[in-house]
Structures are given as C-alpha cells and as structure tokens.
Amino acid sequence: MTKSTETAEERDPVVSGWQAQKSAATRKLIIESAIKCFVDLGYSNTTTTAIAERAGLSRGAMLHHFPSKIDIVKAAVDYLHGKRLRAVRRAVPRAGAGEDRVRSNLEAYWRDVRHPMFVAFFELVVAARTDRELADILQPAQEAFDREWHRTAREVFTEWQVDDATFDVALDLSRYVIEGMAISNLMNRQGGRDEKVLDYLEDKLRELRDSKEKRS
C-alpha cells in the first residue's frame, strides 16, 4: 500500500505483494460496500459507519485503508468509471457486423443503465451538482467517459456513412432517450410502454443510418 491507488485500479491491478493481496481485496470490498450504500441510502446518507457495516468491517479497520470518507469516494468513482468504460468497450463491438448491431447495442446500453451501478453513478452525479469537491473528482471521469463513448462509437460503426452532424444526432438521441427512460424508471414504475419507445428509436436509428448521403 504505497500510494498506488490514485488513478490505477484498472481491472484487478495484479498485486505482487504476497500479503498486500488481502489488502487489495479488502479495499475492493470497501469500495463495493460504498457503492451499495449509494444505491440503498443515497449519497448524502452514506456514512462511514454504514459502509463499514456493509463490508463487515469495523470503522477503524476501514479508516486504516481509506483515511477519510472522501478517499473512499474517490476510489469508488475510479472504480465505477473503470467499470463503465470496460462495459462500453466490451458491448459496442460485440455484435458482428450486420443488421442487428443497432438493436444489440441499444439493448446493451439499456441493460447497462438499469444496472445498480448506474444508480450509484447517478447518485454521485446528482450530488456533485451541489458539492464542488465531489464535482472536481467526478468531472474528469465523466469527460473521459463521454469522449471514449463517442470515439468508440465512431470507430465501430463504420457502416454509418453519414455526415458527422447526423451521426452526432443519432448518438445524442439514443443517449437522451435511454437515460431519460432509465431515470424515469428509477422513480415511478410504469412498465410496458418503454418497449414501444425503444422499438421506435431502433427504427429511427436505422433510418438515419441509411438515409443520408455518404460522407468524407
């Protein structure tokens, strides 16, 4: 446990310390407990005591790994960010080149945003609006994710021979619809109708892909 936890934490960072391995496991346990707390209690109701309880650790034990609450939050943001990035990189190119890449990617993102991880992330984003310290932590991760998402999409959907503006509209539209839907569903259950909206969106995305003239 030097100070190696600042930005790394990609995957499981292969600790070679034959005893620091347990330390890494404990850190991961704490981070995941914190995320559970964000989901169950909300960000601002998350206390260090609650995190420790969920991790099955004592408060002091936890504070040994993370000297203060903000350190846990930092680590959790890194952790979530890494997970989201990996999810995108994994999901987007998965489906082979074919008619159904639109559908499968739509469904992949729709699955992602209903995962508890998204709830936790959302809690962080909302809290960051009025918490500068959290915002400073979240912003870089957020921007990196947005860039990567956009870049990956552009790289992968090579069959979209449309101009940049059209492609951006397709991306933005998809994201707004799906995230708007996810957020709506976080609160009021109102199932059923969402499928119809997804189907419609899929249809319109195909239309966008095929309609315009080639670019570049």
Partner DNA sequence: TGCCGGTTTCAATCAGCTTTGACTTTTTCC
Partner DNA sequence: GGAAAAAGTCAAAGCTGATTGAAACCGGCA
Given the rule CB under 7 A, which residues bind DNA? 1, 18-20, 22-23, 26, 46-49, 57-61, 63-65, 67-70
Tokens standing for 65? 């790994």
Supply the minimum distance, in Å, between the C-beta of residue 1 and a copy of itself.
32
Supply the minimum distance, in Å, between the C-beta of residue 166 and a copy of itself.
9
Distance, CA of 61 to CA of 151 (rounded, Å): 41
Supply the minimum distance, in Å, between the C-beta of residue 64 and DNA.
4
For tokens 């899929």, name the residue.
202
The partner in contact with residue 194, picked from DNA, a copy of itself, none with C-beta cut-offs of 5 to 8 angstroms by kind, is: a copy of itself
The partner in contact with residue 188, picked from a copy of itself, DNA, none with C-beta cut-offs of 5 to 8 angstroms by kind, is: a copy of itself
Nearest residue (CB) to a copy of itself, 12 versus 143? 143
Supply the minimum distance, in Å, between the C-beta of residue 206 and a copy of itself.
13
Reduce the secondary structure of the chain to three states and give it as a string. CCCCCCCCCCCCCCCCCCCHHHHHHHHHHHHHHHHHHHHHHCCCCCCHHHHHHHHCCCHHHHHHHCCCHHHHHHHHHHHHHHHHHHHHHHHCCCCCCCCCHHHHHHHHHHHHCCCHHHHHHHHHHHHHCCCHHHHHHHHHHHHHHHHHHHHHHHHHCCCCCCCHHHHHHHHHHHHHHHHHHHHHHHHCCCCCHHHHHHHHHHHHHHHHHHHCCCCC
The partner in contact with residue 64, picked from DNA, a copy of itself, none with C-beta cut-offs of 5 to 8 angstroms by kind, is: DNA
The partner in contact with residue 49, picked from a copy of itself, DNA, none with C-beta cut-offs of 5 to 8 angstroms by kind, is: DNA
Nearest residue (CB) to DNA, 13 versus 180? 13
List contacts with a copy of itself (CB under 8 A).
40-42, 44-45, 122-123, 125-131, 139, 142-143, 146, 165, 168-169, 172-173, 175-181, 183-184, 186-188, 190, 193-194, 196-197, 200-201, 204
Nearest residue (CB) to DNA, 45 versus 211? 45
Nearest residue (CB) to a copy of itself, 52 versus 201? 201
Tokens standing for 216? 């570049």
